[in-house]
């Protein structure tokens, strides 16, 4: 059986997308997903997404990490699947309302290759001496650093992801350098990929919120521009009464190629 697929990337965070509205893939094993995401023996991707029907929504986003396990919310994935839905004709306007692992999301298409995704509100923040922990649809450990290019993201991130505190459920790990006011550079070790990725949407969102808490808490909120190794993203938000709301993750979402793969 030949399965049609599309490859998308959002600032280097890349995904296999499959139109599963007719349930051509009622069951996908962990081994198959892991193989398809493998960069040597498959298509190669940070994750795989199924676009499915969901009553009351334009579509449902079902996301799998590259290790074959169901994932939590993926910000860049949410932007890419919105662009995919527009490409398929699922969307009749530049606006989308879809369901993901962490609940409903709104998204806006600004042209064909730029998507703004509304993230869930964030009110729970945990502090430790050298880090901040936030859940922006996926869990994120944030550390502010200097000279980010000198950080061994894979080994240092992996050590934190598997330490005694996080071992049971895991976490994504983000190293953040403040380059100037409202400008960040972020490098991420991703849980589920178990490696550094070129970009992480929920991670840069967490980094932007952590920056506001650490460096501009008593100032009006401003859009935060974030450079990743795969490109630039922007996060804008509001903050009141110790809660972040109206959070938007904005950036490119580009179709790379399409093909068929054997099931």
Q: Is 110 annotated as a binding residue?
A: no
Q: Of the residues 37, 80, 200, 250, which is catalytic? A: 200
Q: Of the residues 37, 74, 80, 250, which is catalytic? A: 74
Task: Using alpha carbons only, give the angle 253, 160, 16 rounded to the nearest 5 degrees.
Answer: 25
Alpha-carbon span 253 to 116, nearest angstrom = 10
Q: Is 13 annotated as a binding residue?
A: yes
Q: Is 201 annotated as a binding residue?
A: yes
Alpha-carbon span 22 to 20, nearest angstrom = 5
Q: Is 38 annotated as a binding residue?
A: no
| C-alpha 148: how far from chain center | 21
Assess whether 74 carries a catalytic annotation.
yes
Q: Is 76 annotated as a binding residue?
A: yes
Alpha-carbon span 67 to 72, nearest angstrom = 13
Assess whether 80 carries a catalytic annotation.
no
Q: Is 194 annotated as a binding residue?
A: no
Q: Is 65 annotated as a binding residue?
A: yes
Q: Is 155 annotated as a binding residue?
A: no
Burial of 151 (0-12, 13-18, 19+ CB in 10 A): middle
Q: Are 106 and 96 in contact (CB under 8 A)?
A: yes
State the binding site for substrate. Answer: 13, 65, 75-76, 172, 190-191, 201-202
Residues known to be catalytic: 74, 200
State the binding site. Answer: 13, 65, 75-76, 172, 190-191, 201-202
């Amino acid at each position: 059986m030949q399965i049609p697929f599309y490859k998308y990337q959002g600032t280097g965070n890349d995904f296999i997308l499959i139109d599963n509205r007719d349930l051509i893939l009622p069951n996908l094993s962990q081994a198959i997903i892991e193989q398809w995401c493998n960069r040597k023996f498959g298509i190669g991707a940070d994750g795989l997404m199924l676009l499915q029907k969901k009553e009351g929504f334009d579509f449902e986003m079902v996301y799998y990490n590259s290790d074959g396990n169901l994932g939590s919310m993926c910000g860049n994935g949410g932007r890419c699947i919105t662009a995919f839905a527009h490409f398929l004709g699922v969307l009749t306007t530049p606006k989308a309302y879809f369901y993901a692992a962490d609940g409903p999301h709104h998204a806006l298409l600004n042209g064909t290759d730029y998507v703004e995704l509304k993230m869930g509100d964030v009110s729970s923040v945990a502090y430790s001496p050298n880090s901040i922990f936030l859940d922006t649809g996926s869990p994120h450990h944030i550390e502010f650093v200097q000279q980010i290019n000198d950080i061994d993201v894979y080994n240092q991130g992996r050590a934190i992801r598997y330490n005694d505190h996080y071992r049971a459920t895991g976490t994504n790990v983000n190293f953040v350098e403040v380059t100037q006011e409202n400008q960040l550079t972020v490098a991420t070790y991703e849980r589920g990929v178990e490696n550094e990725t070129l970009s992480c949407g929920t991670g840069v969102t967490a980094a932007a919120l952590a920056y506001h808490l650490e460096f501009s808490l008593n100032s009006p909120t401003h859009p935060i521009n974030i450079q990743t190794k795969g490109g630039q993203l922007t996060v804008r938000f509001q903050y009141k009464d110790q809660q972040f709301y109206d959070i938007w993750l904005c950036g490119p979402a580009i179709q790379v190629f399409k093909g068929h793969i054997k099931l």
